[in-house]
Amino acid sequence: MQNLNTSELIGKFVNRYSYSDINPIGKIIGTKGKTIILIQEIEAVKQTEKLNFIVGGFAAHCDNQDNQKWEFKQNDNVIEMKVSKSFLKQYGIDNNPKKYYDYNF
C-alpha cells in the first residue's frame, strides 16, 4: 500500500476500475492520518471524440472505442476515502482522470 504521509499523492486522480469500464472519482487534495485521502469529485461530462458505430450485435459495434476522449468537470464536493488493499483492487491512483465505456461489452 502507498505511503499517505507524503505529498506525492496530492494532485493525482482516483479512478474506479470496474471490469472493462473506468470512471473518474476525483482529484486528491489532501490526506488525513495514514489511510484517508481527501478527494475533490470530478465527473466526465462530454465525449469529445466522434465514435463510429456499425450496425450488428445487439444494436451496434463501435470499431474505434479506444479513441474515447472526455471533458472533465470538478465539482465542489469533497469526499473522504480509506485506502486499503481492497480499495486498491477496485480503484487506481493515476496521473490523470480517466473515463472509458466499453460499448462492445
- Tell me how many degrees the CA angle 36-15-38 measures, rounded to the nearest 5: 25
Over its C-alpha atoms, the chain yields an Rg (Å, rounded) of: 16
- The pLDDT of residue 57 is 67
- The pLDDT of residue 7 is 67
Q: What is the pLDDT of residues 31-47, one digit of tens each?
A: 888 889 999 999 999 99
Question: What is the pTM (predicted TM-score) of this model?
Answer: 0.83
Read off the C-alpha cell for 6. Answer: 507524503
- The pLDDT of residue 35 is 85
Residues of the chain with pLDDT under 50: 1-3, 5
